[in-house]
Amino acid sequence: MCSIDQRSGGDQCHYFRKTDGYQRSEERAARKYSDYGFVLALICVALICLLYPTAASAWGYKGHRVVGSIADQMLHDNAKAQVSQILSYEDSPDQGVAITLRIAGPWADCVKSVVQIVDGQGHVTYSYEPSNPEFRIPCTSFEKDHQHPIEQARMEDYVGRNFSQCSYAPRGKERGCHNTYHFDDVAFQRDRFDRSYLGTNEHDLVAAITAAIAMLKDNKAPAPFSIKDKKEALFMLAHFVGDLHQPLHVESVYLAHDNVPGDNKGRVDPDSTHQIDPESVTAGGNRISVRDQCLMNAQNQCHRRREAAGHY
Q: Which amino acid is at 174?
A: E
Give the residue among 298, 240, 301 at the shortest CA–CA distance from 268. Answer: 301
Domain boundaries, the chain: 12-244
> In this structure, are residues 287 and 308 in contact, taking their beta carbons and an 8 Å threshold?
yes
Give residue 52's pLDDT: 43
3-class secondary-structure state, position 162:
coil
Residue 127 Cα to chain centre, angstroms? 19
Give the residue among 102, 33, 32, 107 at the shortest CA–CA distance from 65. Answer: 102
Residue 246 Cα to chain centre, angstroms? 10
Average pLDDT for consecutive 10-residue bins of the chain (312 residues)?
40 44 50 41 42 53 94 95 94 88 97 96 96 86 94 98 93 92 91 92 96 97 97 98 85 77 77 77 52 40 37 38
Residues 6+ apart with CB under 8 A from 77: none
Phi then psi for 15, rounded to 5 degrees? -80, -40
Given phi > 0 = left and psi -120 to 50 = alpha, else beta, which region is 169?
A: beta
Give residue 251's pLDDT: 83
d(CA 47, CA 88): 37
Give the residue among 182, 174, 168 at the shortest CA–CA distance from 281. Answer: 168
Q: Which amino acid is at 135?
A: F
Give residue 280's pLDDT: 72
d(CA 126, CA 117): 6
| Residues 164-199 as b or e (16 or more Cβ within 10 Å = b) | ebeebeeeeeebbbbbbbbbbbbbbbeeebeeebbb
Give residue 249's pLDDT: 82
> Hey, which residues does 128 pair with through a beta bridge?
114
d(CA 115, CA 159): 8
d(CA 276, CA 198): 7
Give residue 24's pLDDT: 52
User: How distant, in Å, are the alpha carbons of 159, 173, 227, 230 from that of 114?
Assistant: 7, 14, 17, 21
d(CA 63, CA 284): 19
